[in-house]
Amino acid sequence: MNKILDCYRLKIFFANFNRTFRSSIHTFSSSLIRAHHYRILASQKMTDTLLLELLRKLETRERSRFRELVDSPFFNKNTKLRKLCHHLLTYAPDFQHPDLDKRVVHRKVFGKQPYRDLAFNNLVSDLLQLCYQFLSVSHFKEQPEQELDYLCLELLDRDLPKQVSRQMRRWKLWRSKREDCSYDYFHKDYLRHEKLDQLSLIGGQRKFGEDLQRQSDALDHYYFINKLRVACDMTSRNAVVNAGYECQFLEEIRRYQEMHPELARLPLMEVYSQALQMLEDPREAQHYYQLKELLARHRPIIPKPELRILYNYALNVCVRQINIGRSDFYREIWELYKLLLSEGILLKNGQLSQWSYSNIITSAIRLGAYDWTEEFIRSYRDFLPGEVRDNAYVYNLASLFFEKGDYTRALHLLLDVEFTDAFYHLSAKIIQLKVYFLLQETEPFFSLIEATRHYITRNRQLSEYQKRSNINFLKLASKLFQLRLRRDWRSLQGEELDRFREAIEQTQPLANKGWLLEML
């Protein structure tokens, strides 16, 4: 019996100990979590918030209109939100200032009230939601047909047919003045005829009305054009990432086009059908030239966002042509880019992407248009996004000097700038290596080879393909340099050079393959 009691007491002891231990651990863990959470909040600055990230992207006029929305009692009745908004907008456009410390801003908004992090963060979150609302309202106000559509729905629900008729006349007048004709145009047409058909049915009338037929036709046009547009996007992405996208009913649409030639002659049906043909068979240059002709003919009626995508397909196919040996397509790329710049198609929200900037420069350099290229590099520098501006500008200017044979200026540029982006950092090192190679700077060359190899293997921003192709380049460039150091380099010929050329041709993937063959 005593043994049983002793066992029972031990069981109770360990149970209590276990409970106490778990409770202590839980309390300790909770304390650590809370402390970590408070430490994060305390270390955060207003400059790091989603709100200021968004406000930096607004233009001056947009920030003024956002202030008006916040001040409007229809959208906001919280006076503290108004104070917060007014205070923050004082520091536009960069929003970098010591007075944007959370506690300083809290005093501006809450006065002498003690600082409460939760209340302050909630207020910042509410202002962010108002900014989101401002963006959606602004977009809605720029879509008059969509606005009219919702208005007519409300008027129909309130049984006000005369007012609906008046709004439909406004809709028709506005539509007659519209010059562009996107795939979305036909969706708006479908909505308009839908409202007109509903209007004809008010009062129980049952008679033939053409609006029902037009509604159906507009829906068909919208579907067919949009389906071809999506098919182009899928085919383009499949070529890049082998995604395996499948677009259904394409053959049915093509057969329907053959049976209804009037449908096939719709400008956007022509354009997207030809774009799809080109993307499906990019090696056939004739498809590219036919698309180029169609885009030139219909460009005035196609909105710029759609034109930007369509011309991007054409540019990608030009690159494919270059990759199969058609160097004359460098001029096609250059001419297309110049057209897109002159028409304002290439800029998005007033900015030029770093990749378009570099592609334009590369194509112009290949054609030897050095003066034009230098002018372009300097003129369009300020159109680049701020976070990549310096990297892209310095790298491309150095690349131009290198191609011109001005190695001293190229090196000075590359050595005076610390590249923050992995792509530009690596590309700059490759140019430096080429310069050392051409100038026969042995020690700097091999020292940079090792430093670049370590950078590539340790860098997490570079893809596996980028790492492998550049590591392979470093290996072959190093071997080639060693060959050139041999006393009998100039007399080398026959099998030895052929073996090295074969090694270059067979190495996959390989960056700067053309340059290695040229140096050989």
pLDDT in tens, 444-469: 999 999 999 999 999 988 888 889 99
What per-residue confidence (pLDDT) applies to 419?
A: 84
- Can you tell me which residue has the tokens 């002498």? 112
Task: Classify the C-alpha dihedral 234-235-240-246 as positive or negative.
Answer: positive
Average pLDDT over residues 479-486: 86
Number of other residues whose CB lies within 10 A of the CB of residue 10? 10
What per-residue confidence (pLDDT) applies to 457?
A: 92
Average pLDDT over residues 407-427: 89
Per-residue pLDDT of 177-190, as tens digits, reads: 776 778 888 898 89
What per-residue confidence (pLDDT) applies to 32?
A: 42
- Per the model's pLDDT, the better-predicted residue between 209 and 206 turns out to be 209
Rounded Cα distance between 279 and 233, Å, is: 9
Residue type at 168?
Answer: M
- pTM for this entry: 0.74
What per-residue confidence (pLDDT) applies to 263?
A: 85
Rounded Cα distance between 335 and 315, Å, is: 10
In this predicted structure, the answer to whether residue 249 has a pLDDT above a threshold of 60 is yes
Rounded Cα distance between 37 and 130, Å, is: 26
Rounded Cα distance between 261 and 265, Å, is: 6
Quick one: pLDDT band at residue 229, thresholds 50, 70, 90? very high
Per-residue pLDDT of 166-176, as tens digits, reads: 999 888 887 77
In this predicted structure, the answer to whether residue 19 has a pLDDT above a threshold of 70 is no
What per-residue confidence (pLDDT) applies to 494?
A: 66
| Residue 296 buriedness (CB in 10 A; 0-12 / 13-18 / 19+) | exposed
What per-residue confidence (pLDDT) applies to 489?
A: 62
| Residues 47/104, Cβ–Cβ less than 8 Å | no
Mean pLDDT taken over the chain:
86
For residue 509, say if its preceding peptide bond is cis, omega within 30 degrees of 0: yes
List CB contacts of 232: < 8 A, sequence separation 6 or more: 272, 275, 276, 279, 313
Rounded Cα distance between 447 and 454, Å, is: 11
CA angle 58, 62, 65 (to 5 degrees): 140
Per-residue pLDDT of 490-505, as tens digits, reads: 666 667 778 888 899 9
- For residue 234, give both structure tokens: 């899928």
CA distances from 438 to 423, 426, 477 (A): 23, 19, 11
| Residue 427 buriedness (CB in 10 A; 0-12 / 13-18 / 19+) | buried
Quick one: what percent of the chain has pLDDT higher than 70? 88
Quick one: pLDDT band at residue 14, thresholds 50, 70, 90? very low
Per-residue pLDDT of 56-91, as tens digits, reads: 999 999 999 999 999 999 999 999 999 999 999 999
Per-residue pLDDT of 94-118, as tens digits, reads: 898 888 899 999 999 999 999 999 9
In terms of Cα–Cα distance, which of 242, 319, 311 is closest to 285? Answer: 319
Quick one: what percent of the chain has pLDDT higher than 90? 61
Per-residue pLDDT of 118-166, as tens digits, reads: 999 999 999 999 999 999 999 998 888 888 899 999 999 999 999 999 9
In this predicted structure, the answer to whether residue 397 has a pLDDT above a threshold of 90 is yes
Q: How distant is the alpha carbon of residue 471 from its chain centre?
A: 28
- Per the model's pLDDT, the better-predicted residue between 286 and 419 turns out to be 286
What per-residue confidence (pLDDT) applies to 28?
A: 42
Number of other residues whose CB lies within 10 A of the CB of residue 469? 19
| Residues 476/507, Cβ–Cβ less than 8 Å | yes
Rounded Cα distance between 208 and 423, Å, is: 64
Quick one: pLDDT band at residue 387, thresholds 50, 70, 90? confident
Helix (H) or strand (E) holding 52: helix 50-57
- Per the model's pLDDT, the better-predicted residue between 289 and 514 turns out to be 289
What per-residue confidence (pLDDT) applies to 493?
A: 63
Average pLDDT over residues 206-227: 88
Rounded Cα distance between 70 and 79, Å, is: 9
In this predicted structure, the answer to whether residue 513 has a pLDDT above a threshold of 60 is yes
Q: Which long-range contacts (CB under 8 A, 24 or more apart) does 455-464 make?
A: 455/425, 455/426, 455/429, 456/426, 459/422, 459/426, 461/421, 461/422, 461/423, 462/422, 462/423, 462/426
Rounded Cα distance between 239 and 235, Å, is: 6
- Per the model's pLDDT, the better-predicted residue between 512 and 494 turns out to be 512
Rounded Cα distance between 479 and 503, Å, is: 11
Q: Where are the domains of the chain?
A: 1-41, 44-142, 347-409, 421-520
Q: What is the 3-state secondary structure (H, E, C) of 377-435?
A: HHHCHHHCCCCCHHHHHHHHHHHHHHHCCCHHHHHHHHHHCCCCCHHHHHHHHHHHHHH
What per-residue confidence (pLDDT) applies to 33?
A: 38
